[in-house]
Amino acid sequence: MKTTLCILATAALLCGCNSSDSKSAKLEARIASLERNNIELFRQANNRWRDVTNIWEMEKFSDDFVKDLTKTNGVLMTMEAEIFCSDNLLKTVADQLIEQEDRQSATATTLSNLISTLNLSKSIPRVAATAPSRGQPPADVAAQIRAAAQKLWPNDYEMQVYEINKQADAWRKLNP
């Protein structure tokens, strides 16, 4: 554009126009106007180039952002799968613990029924089955002691024996 302006200015001078001439003044005004337009067009072109560069950078950022989001989504899905597996594992462990507790409860019930069926109270030591000997409680007191021990400790033979011995010793101390 500047080249064109220079050619026009040179042509005007070569044609014999002098600088005081009105045509020359108009030509110079036109050249100044074209130079201003040229500067404005150059500024607009720079602005547009900057906009294009910004758009390109935004698109690149957008692409990078989408890639990062995709990676994050993959990580989140992996974590969700791990949580799901952990949740299932916890449920399985809880179910196993409940089953084990049920089995233990069933075993305790079975043992209790077995003790009742076998009537293990017959094997509990008797304090005095007949007439009291020296330091032994009478038969009716011994029966009460046995009944109380069986009532206190229905499923625990060792505790029944301990209770009977403790009560018999207490009776002996009260009845020397």
Give tens-digit pLDDT for 112-143: 666 666 655 555 555 444 445 567 888 898 99
Q: 14-42 in b/e burial notation, b at 16+ Cβ within 10 A?
A: eeeeeeeeeebeebeeebeeeeeeeeeee
Share of the chain above pLDDT 90, in %: 13
* pLDDT value for 113: 65
pTM of the model: 0.29
**Cβ 166 vs Cβ 136: under 8 Å:** no
CA distance 170 to 151: 19
CA distance 75 to 71: 6
* pLDDT value for 145: 92
Rounded to an integer, the average pLDDT of 84-88 is 75
Q: Which residue has the higher pLDDT, 9 or 90?
A: 90
